[in-house]
Copies of this chain bind each other. A is one copy, B any other.
Amino acid sequence: MTDVARVAGVSLKTVSRVVNGVATVDQELAERVHAASAELGFRANFAASALRSGSSTATIGLLIKDLSNEFYANIASAVAVVAKAHHTQLITAHSGENAEDELEAIFDLCRRRVDGLLIVPTGGDHSALKSEIDLGIPMVFIDRKPVGLAADSVVLDNFAGARDAATRLINDGHSRIGILVDTLNMATMRDRLQGVRTAFAEAGLALDDSLVVTNVRGPIEASIEVDRLLASSAPPTAFFCGNNRSGIGVLRSLWQRGTNEALVSFDDFQLSELMPRPFTVVRYDNRALGTISAELLFRRINREVFDPTTVVLPTELCDRGITGLRGPQPQASQRARCT
């Protein structure tokens, strides 16, 4: 940088400000710095300065799965707000489909010298990350606890949310409920299924395992399962969906069929209140998953000492969709309109 300053005929401070993109630098001075930089092939390099100083990089990393799902996008958006408030750059990396890709992506972020990591894990074992935490990169896990590792996490009360959902359907008179969940490799799905089973047990009802469908990946798969289950000799009169993707698929199917099966789905989604038939969501503060996790991470980065902690966010049932538009309507003992 000293060479750039000399060639450009400006102060070192001016070079630094130009390199850091400070907009208040005089335009002519900035151009001289750019010209000198190009002449000298100079490029400011965070890596070099971080290696020299061993200091904070004012950067945190977020490892996340699929941004095209608004559940993940809302988490990322909320984390970005907290990072900005802490004058910290956020870099987001995308985990792959499997546990091996995920670990690789986490180690990659660590090598980029972030001050801390937020991870939405897809599954698999996280014990290999202990050495990174010991070396001073704190990690907070979002939506799912780490496996084989003591670290902070912020999760939903999946069990209670699912139990409430199933209890609501049972109270509305349903005993045959189609249960559509994603892979049971995810603790979230196991906890949600267990919540449903508990609601049935508490009501003294048997859950027909032929109505429990696992590995439902998306809306299309969910629609196919609706058709299959409703074509059976003892069809369900209601559905429980383990996430927004299958919920959307079931909702679309039921609307197209024009029938009155009830539906409760985990995860609220954009414009759910304008869906053309009533249903219920297991709602929670989606952005808070990101906000609280990021705040926990900054406490760790600031060397605050406390035991590994798990924050559990509550859920609530909210009725969505428009009632009375067409055909028979699901019956409900009560309606809970939330915002």
| Partner-binding segment picked from A13-21, A139-147, A161-169, A227-235 | A13-21
Compute how far the CA of A111 lies from the CA of B58 in the bound complex, rounded to whole angstroms. Answer: 13
| Partner-binding segment picked from A35-43, A205-213, A294-302 | A35-43
Compute how far the CA of A132 lies from the CA of B42 in the bound complex, rounded to whole angstroms. Answer: 9
On chain B, the residues within 8 Å of A132 by CB distance are: 43
| Partner-binding segment picked from A74-82, A150-158, A185-193, A303-311 | A74-82
Check if A91 sits within 8 Å of B91, measured CB to CB.
Answer: yes
Quick one: which of A51-93 are within 8 Å of B by CB?
51, 66-68, 70, 73-74, 76-77, 80, 83-84, 89-93
On chain B, the residues within 8 Å of A90 by CB distance are: 93-94
8 Å CB contact of A46 from B19, B45, B47: B47
Check if A46 sits within 8 Å of B80, measured CB to CB.
Answer: no
Check if B89 sits within 8 Å of A93, measured CB to CB.
Answer: yes
Compute how far the CA of A45 lies from the CA of B100 in the bound complex, rounded to whole angstroms. Answer: 20
Listed from nearest, the 9 A-B pairs whose CB atoms lie closest are A47-B47, A21-B103, A68-B77, A23-B100, A46-B111, A92-B92, A21-B104, A73-B73, A80-B94
Question: What's the minimum C-beta distance from A256 to chain B, rounded to whole angstroms?
Answer: 10
Check if A37 sits within 8 Å of B76, measured CB to CB.
Answer: no
| Partner-binding segment picked from A172-180, A194-202, A269-277, A329-337 | A269-277
8 Å CB contact of A108 from B23, B43, B84, B89: B89
Chain A contact residues, CB within 8 Å of chain B: 18-24, 30, 34-35, 37-38, 41-48, 50-51, 66-68, 70, 73-74, 76-77, 80, 83-84, 89-94, 96, 99-100, 103-108, 110-113, 124, 128, 130-132, 134-135, 248, 251-252, 255, 269-271, 274-276, 322, 325-326
On chain B, the residues within 8 Å of A35 by CB distance are: 131
8 Å CB contact of A89 from B76, B77, B84, B105: B105
Chain B CB within 10 A, most for which of A91, A103, A322: A91
On chain B, the residues within 8 Å of A96 by CB distance are: 84
Task: Pick 28 A–B contacts, CB within 8 A, sort by A.
Answer: A18-B128, A21-B104, A21-B108, A21-B128, A23-B103, A23-B124, A30-B128, A34-B128, A34-B131, A35-B131, A37-B135, A43-B111, A43-B135, A45-B51, A45-B113, A46-B112, A47-B47, A47-B113, A70-B70, A70-B73, A83-B94, A91-B91, A92-B92, A251-B274, A269-B271, A270-B270, A270-B271, A271-B275
On chain B, the residues within 8 Å of A135 by CB distance are: 37-38, 41-43
Check if B100 sits within 8 Å of A22, measured CB to CB.
Answer: yes
Check if A77 sits within 8 Å of B84, measured CB to CB.
Answer: no
Check if A106 sits within 8 Å of B67, measured CB to CB.
Answer: no
User: What is the chain B residue whose CB lies nearest that of A92?
Assistant: B92
On chain B, the residues within 8 Å of A34 by CB distance are: 128, 130-131
Check if B112 sits within 8 Å of A112, measured CB to CB.
Answer: yes
On chain B, the residues within 8 Å of A270 by CB distance are: 70, 269-271
Compute how far the CA of A44 lies from the CA of B76 in the bound complex, rounded to whole angstroms. Answer: 27
Compute how far the CA of A83 lies from the CA of B38 in the bound complex, rounded to whole angstroms. Answer: 28
